[in-house]
Amino acid sequence: MNKDIINPSKKTITYAATLSSVVSLLPVEEPDVPYLNRSNGIVSITTTPRKGQWAYGKIPRLFLLYAQTLIKEVSPMVDFENRTIHLDETFNSFCKNTGIAANGQREQVTRMLENLGSTVFQVTNWFKDEQGRTVHDAINVLVADRTHICFDRNSDEYKEGSYIRFSELMWGILNENPVPLNREIVMNLGKSSRALDIYQWLAFRANGARRETGVTWEALLMQFKYDGYPMREFRRKFRRALEKIQLAWPELKVEITETGVIVRPSLPSIQSADNVADTDAGGADDEEPMNPFVS
């Protein structure tokens, strides 16, 4: 089977899972904690790696967008019956289609995809029952039942091909009302994990928005980082990521204030101009300073 039948890079739209557009699922850099908790309104996500082996940064994010798009476009690379995404036959082709830089990253890409497959998301919803009592409804979502990643033609494992078989719960998340993104913008922001997360959220908020919405810095911190992270540092990094997004999506109407961010109805990013500006002038901002608690 030739798994390079469809090249999503020729598509104008990339799709993102609604859940990852509401809450940042994965860390930007490798954490030194056993788990991370993020929340947005009534939704709370606890991300836990297997044996401390984190999936973080650009690679797993770009892969999930790629997988989501293949599913939405009903690609021949998707085995829907077995909830399986088959990867491209060559490493270079896979990297080209996902937007991942290929140079010297084969080992890192393989590790990040394997770590992603063994990651568990605990998804908790908070709501009131008929008696007015607060109810916590939680499910534990293992990303994949099996990952088989091998791009080495000299390996016996190469004959089986590379694929990820998602768990039933994760497959449900990937098939639930995906959020359309502008593929050019995704590729343009691909060097910044933080900008990708914020872009997904803004695309979700702007899609069908009819009135402006204010979000506090405290709420944004819990959505994209974690409680206790230095607010001053978070605001600086958020502003820098937003500048990249606004360059790529000039029709976006967002205002930063002292108390937070105001999101106004905007032209959807998939209708944005084709000529996307270069957002790399400021450099990538994924790496944390040696001590983020020191300005």
**Portion of the chain with pLDDT greater than 90, in percent:** 67
pLDDT at 2 over 70: no
**Portion of the chain with pLDDT greater than 70, in percent:** 83
Q: What pLDDT shows up at residue 127?
A: 63
pLDDT at 231 over 50: yes
- Beta-carbon-side half-sphere exposure of residue 273 (alpha carbons within 13 Å): 10
Q: Strand 163-166 and strand 144-148: pairing?
A: antiparallel
DSSP secondary structure code for residue 45 in this structure: E
187 versus 285: which is more confidently predicted? 187
| Mean pLDDT value across residues 40-45 | 90
14 versus 152: which is more confidently predicted? 14
Q: What pLDDT shows up at residue 272?
A: 85
Q: Where is mean pLDDT largest: 49-53, 207-211, 287-291?
A: 49-53
pLDDT at 10 over 70: no
Task: Mark residue 208 as left, alpha or beta (left: phi above 0; alpha: psi -120 to 50; beta: remaining).
Answer: left
| Mean pLDDT value across residues 221-234 | 90
| Mean pLDDT value across residues 222-247 | 93
pLDDT category of residue 226 using cuts at 50, 70 and 90: confident
Q: b vs e for 124-155, b when ≥16 Cβ sit within 10 Å of the residue's Cβ?
A: eeeeeeeeeeeeeeeeebbbbbebbbbbeeee
Residues 94 and 86: beta-carbon distance below 8 Å: no
Q: What pLDDT shows up at residue 274?
A: 55
**Distance, CA of 240 to CA of 247 (rounded, Å):** 11
Residues 112 and 57: beta-carbon distance below 8 Å: yes
Q: List residues bridging with 137 in a β-sheet.
A: 125
| Mean pLDDT value across residues 113-133 | 84
- Beta-carbon-side half-sphere exposure of residue 212 (alpha carbons within 13 Å): 11
**Distance, CA of 40 to CA of 64 (rounded, Å):** 20
pLDDT at 294 over 70: no
Least confident of 31-45, 158-172, 265-279: 265-279
Residue-wise pLDDT tens digits, 163-219: 999 999 999 999 988 999 999 999 999 999 999 999 999 999 877 678 889 999 999
Using CA atoms, how far residue 239 sits from 188, 213, 219, 249, in Å, is 17, 18, 15, 15
pTM of the complete model beyond 0.75: yes
Least confident of 109-118, 132-141, 163-172: 132-141
Token code pair at residue 197: 């997360």
Residue-wise pLDDT tens digits, 63-101: 999 999 999 999 999 999 999 999 998 899 999 999 999
186 Cβ neighbours under 8 A, 6+ residues apart: 14, 62, 65, 99, 196, 199
